[in-house]
């Protein structure tokens, strides 16, 4: 099987916004499941998702400030290949010299290539709907409406253990629960979904253990908490398939899940953050677009509010202080350019990141008027989530466009 080269990766990144070119880039041949997708738009979408996922995977395990050393690799790749900024613009954005930006970009491209080589070797990435079981799981996850809230992780774990306890008793398996400190902060997660996820994983451990024991404990690491499920088991295709389903379900709800197998010991690790729900204000007169953004954000810690009249945007932002504004350009009564300009000129609203989503292809004007990101419609979920994540890492900057 062909393995990705840095030249192939760079060519694919250059073609991110061109469906036909991206679908035909040589990088496709390194991932047979993607190459087998015949419709060009679906093949391009799968490769684009893979690249964006890989870029995000280069980031630190915990959120880091925009431009920090920890997030630098993700930032330079995002600015260059997603926002399409020049080296000079990137240098200004990151407060670095152009030479340093070039060095960081080459380093990031090299690391990204190494990651994709690893994924290609391990056949880590699989496009959607590979078989009937995965198709059914995808449909189930797509219909789930996430409702994240602040909860105590230990309470969810105790409830999951109580549910699995009768099964463990019938199989003569001991469940060892290592109690976590009582003063741990709450985490942001959909408690019902995460409880089901833990029940599935612990039940699988109980049915698979070869030692008659399963250990469960909660760990705290920085801004995140982890649930670790440890058990002894011989490696088998059936066990790996069921563990893969747990991982896919977790990722669908933006819950990090890692499975490690060493010396017949299996460790399943779920990691969730202690962050708060972010408010997204969508300024859009098309109800279909608003509903699309809502669906994009159902799997994460987002609260979506919307207004269809752009004349209300300024007062809404000044009064309610949303974390991010998603702004259309072509709207009745008042065009998005004037809304963007007014938000950037007022100190009360200029620190609020604005993502312009429009059919109008003018990212240069959007950035000049103070936009933090620009997305051309139709907007993919991967691009939308990536832009939101980057905006939430931005420092509050006072952007004041020049007067006409």
What is the C-alpha to C-alpha distance for residues 196 and 253, in angstroms, rounded to an integer?
12
> What average pLDDT does range 104-110 have in this prediction?
90
What is the C-alpha to C-alpha distance for residues 334 and 237, in angstroms, rounded to an integer?
59
For domain 278-393, the CATH class is alpha beta
Mean pLDDT rounded to a whole number for the chain: 82
Query: What percent of the chain clears pLDDT 90, i.e. is strictly above it?
Result: 35
164 burial via Cβ count (<10 Å: 0-12, 13-18, 19+):
buried
Q: Which of 217-221, 230-234, 266-270 has the lowest mean pLDDT?
A: 217-221
What is the C-alpha to C-alpha distance for residues 1 and 122, in angstroms, rounded to an integer?
11
Split at pLDDT 50, 70, 90, the class of 25 is very high
The answer to whether residues 109 and 72 touch, using CB atoms and an 8 Å cutoff, is no
What is the C-alpha to C-alpha distance for residues 185 and 337, in angstroms, rounded to an integer?
42
Is the link from the previous residue into 92 a cis peptide, with omega within 30 of 0? no
> What average pLDDT does range 211-216 have in this prediction?
95
> What average pLDDT does range 228-241 have in this prediction?
88
Q: Which of 13-22, 80-89, 140-149, 304-313 has the lowest mean pLDDT?
A: 140-149
Fold of 149-273: Heat Shock Protein 90 (3.30.565)
Q: Is the pLDDT of residue 132 over 60?
A: no
User: What's the pTM?
Assistant: 0.44
User: pLDDT tens digits, residue range 258-271?
Assistant: 898 888 899 999 98
Of the ranges 18-32, 113-127, 294-308, the best mean pLDDT one:
18-32
Q: How many CB atoms lie within 10 A of CB 181?
A: 8
Q: Which of 23-32, 86-95, 331-340 has the lowest mean pLDDT?
A: 86-95
Topology match between the domains 6-127 and 149-273: no
Q: Is the pLDDT of residue 125 over 70?
A: no
User: Please, where are the H alpha helices in 4-152?
Assistant: 6-14, 19-23, 32-35, 40-57, 72-77, 87-94, 98-122, 132-142
What is the C-alpha to C-alpha distance for residues 161 and 175, in angstroms, rounded to an integer?
8
Return the axis-axis angle of helices 98-122 and 6-14, rounded to nearest 10°: 110
Split at pLDDT 50, 70, 90, the class of 210 is very high
Q: Is the pLDDT of residue 68 over 70?
A: no
**Confidence (pLDDT) at 52:** 84
For domain 6-127, the CATH class is mainly alpha
Domain ranges of the chain: 6-127, 149-273, 278-393
**Confidence (pLDDT) at 133:** 47
**Confidence (pLDDT) at 314:** 94
Q: Is the pLDDT of residue 127 over 80?
A: no
> What average pLDDT does range 37-57 have in this prediction?
83
**Confidence (pLDDT) at 317:** 95
> What average pLDDT does range 220-239 have in this prediction?
86
Taken in order 373, 295, 360, 9, the sign of the CA dihedral is positive
> What average pLDDT does range 205-221 have in this prediction?
92
User: Which residue pairs, CB below 8 angstroms and at least 24 apart, start in 377-386?
Assistant: 377/289, 379/292, 379/293, 380/45, 380/48, 380/49, 381/296, 382/48, 382/49, 382/52, 382/53, 383/52, 383/82, 384/293, 384/296, 384/357, 385/296, 385/297, 385/300, 386/52, 386/55, 386/56, 386/78, 386/82
Split at pLDDT 50, 70, 90, the class of 192 is confident
> What average pLDDT does range 278-286 have in this prediction?
91
């Amino acid at each position: 099987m062909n393995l990705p080269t840095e030249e192939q990766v760079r060519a694919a990144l250059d073609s991110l916004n061109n469906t036909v070119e991206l679908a035909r880039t040589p990088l496709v041949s390194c991932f047979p499941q993607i190459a087998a997708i015949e419709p060009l738009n679906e093949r391009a979408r799968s490769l684009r998702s893979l690249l964006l996922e890989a870029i995000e995977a280069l980031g630190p395990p915990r959120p880091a400030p925009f431009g920090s050393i920890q997030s630098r690799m993700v930032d330079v790749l995002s600015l260059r290949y997603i926002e399409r900024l020049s080296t000079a613009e990137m240098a200004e954005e990151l407060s670095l010299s152009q030479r340093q930006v070039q060095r960081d970009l080459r380093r990031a491209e090299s690391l990204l290539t190494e990651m994709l080589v690893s994924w290609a070797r391990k056949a880590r990435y699989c496009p959607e709907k590979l078989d009937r079981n995965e198709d059914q799981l995808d449909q189930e996850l797509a219909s789930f409406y996430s409702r994240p809230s602040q909860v105590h992780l230990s309470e969810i774990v105790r409830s999951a253990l109580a549910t699995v306890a009768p099964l463990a008793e019938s199989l003569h398996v001991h469940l060892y629960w290592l109690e976590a400190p009582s003063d741990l902060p709450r985490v942001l997660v959909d408690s019902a979904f995460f409880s089901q996820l833990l029940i599935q994983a612990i039940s699988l451990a109980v049915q698979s253990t070869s030692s008659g024991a399963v250990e469960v404990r909660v760990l705290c690491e920085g801004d995140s908490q982890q649930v670790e499920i440890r058990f002894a088991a011989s490696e088998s295709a059936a066990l790996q398939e069921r563990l893969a389903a747990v991982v896919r379900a977790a990722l669908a709800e933006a819950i990090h899940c890692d499975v490690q197998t060493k010396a017949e010991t299996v460790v399943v690790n779920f990691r969730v953050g202690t962050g708060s729900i972010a408010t997204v204000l969508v300024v859009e007169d098309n109800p279909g677009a608003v509903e699309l953004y809502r669906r994009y954000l159902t799997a994460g810690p987002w609260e979506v509010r919307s207004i269809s009249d752009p004349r209300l945007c300024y007062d809404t932002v000044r009064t309610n202080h949303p974390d991010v504004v998603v702004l259309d350009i072509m709207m009745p009564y008042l065009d998005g350019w004037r809304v963007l300009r007014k938000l950037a000129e007022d100190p009360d609203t200029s620190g609020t990141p604005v993502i312009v989503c429009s059919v109008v292809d003018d990212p240069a004007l959007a950035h000049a008027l103070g936009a933090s990101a620009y997305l051309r419609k139709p907007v993919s979920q991967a691009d939308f989530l990536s832009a939101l994540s980057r905006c939430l890492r931005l420092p509050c900057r006072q952007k004041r466009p020049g007067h006409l």
